[in-house]
Amino acid sequence: MNEIIESVKNLSIGFNSQKGKQISILRNVSTNIKKGETVGIVGESGSGKSTLALAMMGYIKQGLFPLKGECLFKSEDLLKMSSRQLEKIRGRKIAMIPQNAGQALTPNLKIGYQIDEALRLHTDLNKTERDKKISELLNKVRLPSPETMAFRYPHELSGGQQQRVAVAMALAGKPDLLLLDEPTTGLDVTTQAHVLELLRFIAKDTGTSMIYVSHDLGAIAQVSDRIVVMYAGEIVLEGPARKILKEPIHPYTYGLLKSIPKLSLAGLPASMPGSQPQPGSINEGCSFYDRCNLATNHCKKNSPDLEHIKELDTNVRCFNHKELINQNNNLQTSITKKLNNSEAIEVLKLKDVSISYAKQKFFDQLLNKISDQNPTVKDINIDIKKGETIALVGESGSGKSTILKSIAGLLKTKDGQIKFENDRILSSDLKMRNPNDLRAIQLIFQNPDESLNPNHTVEQILSQPLKLYFNLSGEELKKNIIDLLKKVRLGEFYMSRYPRQLSGGEKQRVAVARAFAAKPDIILCDEVTSALDVSVQAAVLNLLQQLKEDLGTTYVFVSHDLAVVRAISDRVAVLYQGRLCEIGPSQNVYKFPSHPYTEVLLGAVLEPDPDIKPKLVAEDIVEEKPPEKGCSFQGRCPRKIGDICNSEVPPWQIGENGNAIRCHINIEELASLQQ
C-alpha cells in the first residue's frame, strides 16, 4: 500500500514572456502518489493544477517547458523520455479521463469500436477476447445494456454516459494511474454524483491510483484520500482529505472552505478579498500575502517553505498556521442576510406561461400562432414580489433560462401573460415593448467573457445603457460611470481598461454595473456565478445582496447550484422539464417534505465535507422531452405510485411550511416517507 508509483520532485514549469522574461507557472512542486491512493488536486483557475496533472503523464502544453525538477513514474523521469517511450506508458500505465468526454470521443465512430481501439493498442487480446472485454468494461462503468451500447455513436449518449465511456476507455489498458481532469464539471448535479460514486467504486475495486483535478472542493471531498491545495503555482497545503477539509491550517484553504455556500447554512458565504496573483507578478514574500488576514511584515519579505507537521501528517506553506488551528470551529458560519421587508407588492406576474421551441408549421406561420401540444415550458405561474430574490432551480433542460429569456422579451411565449407593475401586460415581442419597460428589466449573463464586448473599454460598456436610456453625455456621463464603478467596488482607473485586462470577478462586476446603470426594477441573473471561482463567487453574491439591500431591486436568479440558491434567495421555484414542481420560501424548500425531484436534487449536492455523502435516490437518465401526460417527473421519480402519475397532472398541495408541492402523494405521507 505504501509503494510510491509517481513522484514529482521540485518541478517548475514556465514560459517565456513576449519581453523574453522567464515566467514560471509551477514553482518547486513536490508530491508523491502512492499505490491505490486517490489524490485530489484543488485550486482556482490559473493555480497550475492542470499543468501539474498533465506533467505527471509527461505532457507539457505547447509554449511551456520544464525549468527544473523531475516527474518520476516508477523511478523513470517522464519529462526526459522520447515520444516513443511515452507512447508505451500513456494509456497502458497512466490513463487520462478528460473534462469533456463529448469532445474527446470521435463523433463518427461507434462506442464499441473506440474501446476496441484502446484494447488493441494496449493489450494483446484477440478479437473474441476483446469483444468480451468491451461488454465487461461497459458493465463495469454501469452503462445500461452493454450489448447494444457498443453499437451506438457518442451523440446518442447523454453527457454522463459519455463520461462513463471515457472511463471505460481509460480502464481498457489496466492503468496503474488514472488522471482525471475536472471529469464531472460539465455534468448535471445528479449525474455528477453518480459518476463520482462510480469513480470511487473503481478506485476501490481495481486498486488504481487516481489523480483527481478539480476546482470543486465538494467533488474532491467525495473521492480523495489525500488533498493537495494549489495556489499561484505552489502547493500551499497537502495532507489527508479529512484533515484538510475539517481543520485547514492554511489561510487560503480556510478562506476557500468558508467561501463555499453550504446547504446547511442559510446566509451568504464569507468572501476572500482580491484575486489570485498572475504568473510572474510575485517577486518576494508569500504569494497569498495580499489576501491573507494573518499576514505580517515577515510574510511580505519572506516566502514560507512547505513545512511538515508530523502530528497532522500535513505539509503547509505558512508562517502563521498555528493561529488557524483555534479558528477552525468558525468554518460553519455565514453572513446573515437582511430580511427583505416584503411590501407584498407584486412587481412581475407570470400567468400560465408556456414557451415552445417547436418550428411553426406553414399554416400556423400564416396565422402567426404556435400549435405545440407539448411545449418546452408549460403552465408557469409565479408572482414575484418587489424586493425579493426568487430563484429558479433545475438541471439543464429544466427550462429555467428559457423562462428568463421570455421575461426579458428575447423569446416569444406561446400562451399566457407576463404582467409587469399594476397588471400591465408586457408584450412577448421585444420590439413592441416600450423603452421604459426595457429599462426596468435588465439581464446579467453567466459568462462575462461573452457578455462584455471585448473591443470596448469599461467606459464604453457602461456608457451604452446610460446613453440609451438617460441620454447622458460628457461630464455627467463620466460622473455616472464612476458612481457605478464605485457601487460595484471598482476604482475609477478601470474606465480605460478592456475586459481582457480584468480578472473573471472584475468582469462580472462590470456586467453587474452595466445592469444597474439602467436603474432597473428587476434584474434577471442567469447563472451569474457559475463561471467564477469559488472565492470570487462568494464576493459577487455578497455584492448582489448588498446592492439589493441598498436599492431595493428584485432579482430573478437562475442557477443549477442548490447551495448558491440557498445562500442568496428568499424564495425558490424548482423546475423539471419546463414544469414547476415546487415553490416556496427558501428555508422551507430545503426542508422536508419536498417534491421527489427536490429530494433527488438535494441528495445529489456535493458538500465539501467527507462525512456528508450524496444520496443517490434516482437514476441519472436524461429525458429529452417532457412527458405528454401526467407528472413531469414520472420518468425518474423514485416515489412513483402508479398509473395516476402517468395520466394525470398532479395537484398543488400547500405544506405547513408554506411551500407548494405538485405531487400525487399526500403531503403528510410524503413527509413521513422522507424522514
Partner 1 sequence: MENNLITEDKQKNKLEKAFEILKTMASKPSGLIGLTIVLFHVVLALTSPYIAPYDYKAISPNTMLLAPSAEHWFGTDSLGRDVFTRTILGGRTALTVTFFGSLIALLWGGLLGIFCGLVGGKIDDVVMRVVDAFLSIPWILAMLLIVSLLGTSTEVLIPALGFFYGKGIVRVARAATHDVIAKDFIVSARARGHSNMSIIWNEIIPNVRDAILVEGAMRWSWMLLGFSSLSFLGFGVSPPTPDWGLMISNARGLMSFAYWSVIAPIVGLSSLIIGINLTADAFAKALGIDRSTKAPV
Contact between 65 and 15 under an 8 Å Cβ cutoff? The reply is yes
Residue span binding partner 1 (CB under 8 A) among the ranges 152-160, 322-330, 501-509, 559-567: 501-509
Residue 380 pairs with which residues in a beta bridge?
353
Alpha carbon 352 to its chain's center: 31
Give the nearer residue to partner 1 in terms of CB position, either 61 or 486. Answer: 61
Question: Considering the rule CB under 8 A, would residue 445 count as an interface residue with partner 1?
Answer: yes
Q: Kindly determine how many residues on this chain lie close enough to bind partner 1 according to the rule CB under 8 A.
A: 46
Measured at the CA of 331, the angle between CA 329 and CA 333, to 5 degrees, comes to 105
Please pick, from the candidates 106, 330, 342, 453, the single residue that binds partner 1 as defined by CB under 8 A.
453
Question: Considering the rule CB under 8 A, would residue 231 count as an interface residue with partner 1?
Answer: no
Question: Considering the rule CB under 8 A, would residue 661 count as an interface residue with partner 1?
Answer: no
503555482: which residue's cell? Answer: 233
Question: Considering the rule CB under 8 A, would residue 362 count as an interface residue with partner 1?
Answer: no
Question: Considering the rule CB under 8 A, would residue 465 count as an interface residue with partner 1?
Answer: yes
CA gap 302, 285 in Å, rounded: 4
Please pick, from the candidates 38, 209, 214, 275, the single residue that binds partner 1 as defined by CB under 8 A.
275
Give the nearer residue to partner 1 in terms of CB position, either 292 or 645. Answer: 292
Residue 210 corresponds to which cell in the numbers above? Answer: 487516481
Please pick, from the candidates 283, 338, 362, 435, the single residue that binds partner 1 as defined by CB under 8 A.
435
Which residues, 280 to 339, sit near partner 1 by CB under 8 A? 281, 290
CA gap 439, 274 in Å, rounded: 32
Question: Considering the rule CB under 8 A, would residue 25 count as an interface residue with partner 1?
Answer: no
Cβ 255 to partner 1 shortest distance, Å: 15
Question: Considering the rule CB under 8 A, would residue 640 count as an interface residue with partner 1?
Answer: no
Question: Considering the rule CB under 8 A, would residue 427 count as an interface residue with partner 1?
Answer: no
Q: Which helix (H) or strand (E) holds 243?
A: helix 241-246
In degrees and rounded to multiples of 5, residue 652 shows phi and psi of -80, 135
Residue span binding partner 1 (CB under 8 A) among the ranges 151-159, 185-193, 487-495, 585-593: 487-495
Question: Considering the rule CB under 8 A, would residue 28 count as an interface residue with partner 1?
Answer: no
Contact between 428 and 351 under an 8 Å Cβ cutoff? The reply is no
Question: Considering the rule CB under 8 A, would residue 19 count as an interface residue with partner 1?
Answer: yes
DSSP H helices, 25-96, are 49-55, 83-89
Contact between 2 and 32 under an 8 Å Cβ cutoff? The reply is no
CA gap 232, 24 in Å, rounded: 10
Give the nearer residue to partner 1 in terms of CB position, either 491 or 651. Answer: 491
Please pick, from the candidates 156, 450, 492, 668, the single residue that binds partner 1 as defined by CB under 8 A.
450
Whether the CA torsion 532, 535, 541, 544 is positive or negative: it is negative
Q: What is the DSSP letter of 543?
A: H
Give the nearer residue to partner 1 in terms of CB position, either 515 or 622. Answer: 515
Cβ 659 to partner 1 shortest distance, Å: 31
Alpha carbon 107 to its chain's center: 25
Please pick, from the candidates 122, 433, 579, 595, the single residue that binds partner 1 as defined by CB under 8 A.
433
Q: Which of 625, 630, 635, 669 is nearest to 650 (CA)?
A: 630
93-109 as b/e, with b when 16 or more CB fall inside 10 Å?
bbbbbbbbbbebbeeee
- Build a one-symbol-per-residue string for 54-93: x at contacts with partner 1 by CB under 8 A, - elsewhere: -------xx-------------------------------
Q: Which helix (H) or strand (E) holds 364?
A: helix 362-367
Question: Considering the rule CB under 8 A, would residue 496 count as an interface residue with partner 1?
Answer: yes
Question: Considering the rule CB under 8 A, would residue 410 count as an interface residue with partner 1?
Answer: yes
Question: Considering the rule CB under 8 A, would residue 20 count as an interface residue with partner 1?
Answer: no
Residue 604 corresponds to which cell in the numbers above? Answer: 445529489
Q: What is the DSSP letter of 380?
A: E
Q: Which residues bind partner 1 (CB under 8 A)?
A: 17, 19, 61-62, 274-275, 278, 281, 290, 408-410, 430, 433, 435, 438-439, 441-443, 445-447, 450-456, 460, 464-465, 468-469, 490-491, 493, 496-497, 500-501, 503, 506, 514, 518
